[in-house]
Amino acid sequence: MEKRYYQPEIETMPVAELQKLQSEKLVKQVRHVYDNVPYYRQKMDEKGVKPEDIKGIEDLHKLPTITKGDLRETYPYGMLAVPLEDCVRIQSTSGTTGKRVIAYYTQKDVELWEDCCARALVAVGATKKDVCQVAYGYGLFTGGPGLNGGSHKVGCLTLPMSSGNTERQIQFIQDLQATILCCTPSYAAYIGETMKEMGIKPEDNTLKAGIFGAEPWTEEMRRDIEKSLGIKAYDIYGLTETSGPGVSFECEAQTGMHICEDHFLAEIIDPDTEEVLPLGSVGELVFTSLDKEAFPLLRYRTRDICRLTREPCPCGRTHVKMCKPMGRSDDMLIIRGVNVFPSQIETVLINEGYSPNYQIIVDRVSNNDTIDVNVELSPEQFHDTIKEIAKLEKNLEAALRTMLGIGPKVHLVAPKTIARSEGKAKRVIDNRKLH
C-alpha cells in the first residue's frame, strides 16, 4: 500500500513515545487551564484535584468532565483561557438545541486545526496537483473554513464553493476538473443524484476521492456515494468545541478514523457513571485538547457513542482509531423502551434497495410511542401500482422490525418529496418533545 502522510514523524510515532508526549502536554495544559479558567478551576477544587496531581495521562480520570451545559453556562467568554486580544477567530455551532457554543482560536490554534485537516486530505491521496472543491458551508460552521485551510496547506487548488447551488457545484467539478470533493455525505449523495439526472456518468467526472463528515452515515451510504460519483469516499470527524473537522479522519484502509492523538486525547466512558471503559468498549467519547491555547477543553463529553481500537493499521499510522459514531447519547431514540439509532434504519433502507432519502417521525398517541418512516421511491419504483407499493411497504416494515425489534409504519412517498440537504440532514422529527 502506498504510504501518504502530511506529518510523518507524528502520524507514525511509536505508541509509547506518543503517550509520553501526551503526558508532557497534559501536565502543561492542566496548569494552563487551572491558572486561566476560573470556572474549571472551581470544578477541580470541588473535586479536590490540584494541577500537581496530574503527572501524566494515567491521571486523566481524576479531572472533572465538562458538558455542553457547562459551555452554555459560561457563554460567551467563560471558558476562554487567553486574553481576547490574542484570539484571531471564532467559529460556532448552529445552536439548534439551545444557546450557541462559541469556540475561540489563537493563530496557533488555527494552524493546528488546519494541520489536522491537511493530514486528512493527504491520507486520501491529495497533493499539490489536486483540485479540492470545498462544498461544506463557510461561515460560523467549521466545515468550510477547516477543509479550506487544510487544502491550502497541502497546496491543492482550492475551490471555496460553500454548500448549495448544486448545478453550479457540478459545473465547477466539470470545468475545473475537481479531483477531491469535501461536503456532508447527504450533500454528496444529492450531488450524485443531480449528476445522474443531468446525464453525467460517474466515469465522466474527474473526482477521485471525497471527504465526507459532520453527520452520521452508514457503510451502505458510503457504497452508494462511491458508486454514484465514481470515487472513494472517506469519513472525517470533528466538533466545534475541539476545533472542527480533522479531530479524526480515515486513511486508505477505510476501517475507522485515526484520532490526531498528539493534539486530542480520547477516552471512552460509561455515559451514566462516567467510569472510564477499557479499549474496545462502546461508550461516550470524551476529548481533552492537549495543545489548544484559547479554548482548551479538558475531558469534554461529546455525547457521541463510539468505540476505539489500537489494532495495527496497514497505513502505518499509530494513532488510535475510532469507529463511525453509532449515534449520540442524546439523539438515540427510545421508542417503547427500545433504543433505536437512525443509522440502523438507514442500513435497512439501502440494503433493501431504497435511496438514503428518508425521514423518521416519532410521536406519542394515547401514551404509546409511534414511529413512522417516510421513504422516497426512485422514479423507476414509482411506476408500480398502489397494490404493489403496499406490498413493498409491508416488506420494508418486516425488514425494519427484524433490525430494530419494534415495528415502524412505513410510507413510501413520491420521488423528490423529501427535502434534500446541502449541509447536515435532518433525519428525525420527534414530536414527543413538544408535549
Binding site for ligand DLL (CB under 6 A): 93, 136, 142-143, 213-216, 235-240, 244-245, 302, 304, 324-325, 328
Which residue lies nearer to ligand DLL by CB, 63 or 182?
A: 182
CB of 331 to ligand DLL, least distance (A): 8
Which residue lies nearer to ligand DLL by CB, 143 or 283?
A: 143
CB of 109 to ligand DLL, least distance (A): 15
CB of 212 to ligand DLL, least distance (A): 7
Q: How far apart are CA 294 and CA 108, in angstroms?
A: 9
Which residue lies nearer to ligand DLL by CB, 135 or 371?
A: 135
Residue 104: C-alpha distances to residues 86, 146, 248 (Å): 10, 14, 20
Burial category of 44 from C-beta neighbours within 10 Å (exposed 0-12, middle 13-18, buried 19 and up): buried
Q: How far apart are CA 379 and CA 382, in angstroms?
A: 5
Q: How far apart are CA 105 and CA 112, in angstroms?
A: 10
Residue 51 identity: P
CB 297 within 8 A of CB 30: no
CB of 60 to ligand DLL, least distance (A): 20
CB of 120 to ligand DLL, least distance (A): 9
Phi first, then psi, for residue 398 (nearest 5°) are -65, -45
Grid cell digits, residue 96: 439548534
Which residue lies nearer to ligand DLL by CB, 133 or 302?
A: 302
Which residue lies nearer to ligand DLL by CB, 54 or 265?
A: 265
Grid cell digits, residue 82: 487567553
Which residue lies nearer to ligand DLL by CB, 192 or 244?
A: 244
Which residue lies nearer to ligand DLL by CB, 130 or 250?
A: 250
DSSP 416: T
Which residue lies nearer to ligand DLL by CB, 4 or 427?
A: 427
Residue 113 identity: W
Give residues with Cβ within 8 angstroms of 192, minimum separation 6: 202, 224, 225, 228, 229
**Which segments of 290-367 are extended strands (E)?**
300-306, 308-309, 321-322, 327-328, 333-335, 338-340, 358-365
CB 206 within 8 A of CB 159: no
Q: Give the three-state DSSP class for 163.
A: coil
Residue nearest to ligand DLL (CB): 213
Angle at 362 between CA 358 and CA 366, to 5 degrees: 150
Phi first, then psi, for residue 158 (nearest 5°) are -100, 130
Which residue lies nearer to ligand DLL by CB, 23 or 148?
A: 148
CB of 54 to ligand DLL, least distance (A): 25
CB of 72 to ligand DLL, least distance (A): 14
Burial category of 275 from C-beta neighbours within 10 Å (exposed 0-12, middle 13-18, buried 19 and up): exposed
CB of 245 to ligand DLL, least distance (A): 4
DSSP 98: S
CB of 238 to ligand DLL, least distance (A): 4
CB of 10 to ligand DLL, least distance (A): 21
Which residue lies nearer to ligand DLL by CB, 94 or 351?
A: 94
Q: How far apart are CA 274 and CA 254, in angstroms?
A: 30
